[in-house]
C-alpha cells in the first residue's frame, strides 16, 4: 500500500488545485481552490477554451460577475471528478467587510445552485479575519457552509468554532516558513521536523481542542511544504495537498503511523477559552507570526485576484 492510500485510512484527502485534469489520478474526496490557483490554471493552454467560452458568454457584465462565473465554472468541472465538496473563495479584497462577504457568498451559491449543484457540495472560502468569521456565522445559519482560510493562530480557530463554521484550514507551511525565517542561522531543520514542526504543532493544538470540547468544526491542515508535515498530521480530519505532494505520497510505500487520534485528544488536560471581538483582536495582535502571515496572505490573494480581473478584462475586450 502506498502512502497516499494508507493516509486515506486515517484522514480525508483533499486536492489543493484548480487544475481539475490532475484530480482523477489521486482520487481525492474534495478539492480546494484559491485565487492564486485559479489564476495559475487559467493561464495554462489546456484551460484557455474554458476561460474564453465563459468570458464570451458573459461579456458586457461587471468584471466581478465574470470572475465569479469563472470560479464557479472551475468548481463545476472539479465536482465532475470529486465525489465530495469544492471550496470556492470569496475575493480577498472583501476580507474586512462582513456584509460584502455575505453578499458575494450568496452570489457564488446562487451560481452553483443554478447549475444544479446542491449547496452542501460547496464550501465558501473566507479569510479568518474577525469580519470574515462573522460573515461565516451568518452564512452557516443560512445553511451555506464555509471554509475559513488563512488561519494561523489559536484564537482564530476558537472563534471559528464558536461561530459554528463547518471547516477551517490552518496553514502549516506558512507557519513553518515564518519560524524558519525568524530563527535564521539558528534554525535546526532536523530538530524542527515532523511532530516538532511549528506548523504541525499548531494544527495538533487546534485538533486536540476541538475534539476535547466537542466542537464540530472540521480541521483541514493546508499549505504543506513537504511530505513529512503531512505524515505528522495523519489522523487529522482532512488534509488538503498539492498535486506535487500527492504524487510523492503515491510513489512511496514507506511505513508511517497515525499521529492524531480523537480519543487521545479527549483525554488531554486543557481548559476551554472564549474570544469576543476585543479579546480576539488582542490575541491576534500578540501573535506576531499570525498577524504578519494573515496580512501577507490577504495581500497576496488580493494581488492575484486583481491579476485575474485584468486577465478577464483583456479576454472580454
* Residue 161 C-beta-side C-alpha neighbours within 13 Å: 24
| Coarse DSSP helix, strand, coil percentages of the chain, rounded to the nearest 5 percent | 60, 10, 30
What's the grid cell of residue 176?
A: 513553518
The rounded distance, in Å, linking the Cα atoms of 280 and 276 is 6
Contact partners, residue 53, CB within 8 Å, separation at least 6: none
Q: Indicate which residue of 125, 211, 212, 293 is catalytic.
A: 125
Residue 34 has which C-alpha cell? 484559491
Closest of 158, 261, 303 to residue 217, by C-alpha:
158
The set of residues, in sequence order, having a beta carbon less than 8 Å from that of 22 and lying 6+ positions away, is 15, 243
Quote the CA–CA distance of 226 and 10 in Å, as a whole number: 19
For the chain, what's the residue count? 317
**Closest C-alpha among 134, 211, 204 to residue 170:** 204
Judge whether 125 counts as a catalytic residue.
Answer: yes
DSSP string, 31-47: EE--HHHHHHHHTSGGG
Catalytic site residues?
A: 125
Amino acid at each position: 500500500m502506498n502512502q497516499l492510500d494508507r493516509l486515506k485510512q486515517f484522514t480525508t484527502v483533499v486536492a489543493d488545485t484548480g487544475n481539475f485534469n490532475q484530480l482523477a489520478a489521486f482520487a481525492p474526496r474534495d478539492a480546494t481552490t484559491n485565487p492564486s490557483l485559479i489564476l495559475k490554471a487559467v493561464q495554462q493552454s489546456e484551460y484557455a477554451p474554458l476561460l474564453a467560452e465563459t468570458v464570451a458568454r458573459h461579456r458586457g457584465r461587471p468584471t466581478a460577475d465574470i470572475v465569479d462565473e469563472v470560479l464557479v465554472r472551475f468548481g463545476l468541472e472539479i465536482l465532475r471528478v470529486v465525489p465530495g465538496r469544492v471550496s470556492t473563495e470569496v475575493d480577498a479584497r472583501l476580507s474586512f467587510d462582513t456584509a460584502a462577504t455575505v453578499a458575494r457568498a450568496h452570489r457564488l451559491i446562487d451560481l452553483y445552485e443554478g447549475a444544479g449543484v446542491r449547496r452542501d457540495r460547496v464550501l465558501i472560502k473566507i479569510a479568518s479575519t474577525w469580519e470574515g468569521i462573522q460573515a461565516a456565522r451568518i452564512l452557516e445559519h443560512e445553511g451555506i457552509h464555509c471554509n475559513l482560510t488563512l488561519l494561523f493562530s489559536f484564537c482564530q480557530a476558537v472563534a471559528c468554532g464558536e461561530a459554528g463554521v463547518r471547516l477551517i484550514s490552518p496553514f502549516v507551511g506558512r507557519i513553518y516558513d515564518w519560524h524558519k525565517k525568524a530563527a535564521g542561522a539558528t534554525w535546526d531543520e532536523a530538530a524542527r521536523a515532523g511532530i516538532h514542526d511549528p506548523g504541525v504543532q499548531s494544527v495538533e493544538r487546534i485538533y486536540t481542542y476541538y475534539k476535547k470540547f466537542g466542537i464540530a468544526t472540521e480541521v483541514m491542515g493546508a499549505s504543506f511544504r513537504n511530505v513529512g508535515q503531512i505524515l505528522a498530521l495523519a489522523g487529522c480530519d482532512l488534509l488538503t495537498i498539492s498535486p506535487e505532494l500527492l504524487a510523492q505520497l503515491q510513489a512511496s510505500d514507506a511505513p508511517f503511523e497515525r499521529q492524531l487520534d480523537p480519543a487521545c485528544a479527549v483525554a488531554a488536560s486543557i481548559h476551554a477559552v472564549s474570544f469576543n471581538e476585543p479579546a480576539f483582536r488582542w490575541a491576534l495582535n500578540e501573535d506576531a507570526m499570525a498577524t504578519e502571515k494573515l496580512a501577507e496572505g490577504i495581500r497576496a490573494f488580493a494581488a492575484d485576484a486583481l491579476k485575474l480581473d485584468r486577465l478577464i478584462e483583456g479576454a472580454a475586450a
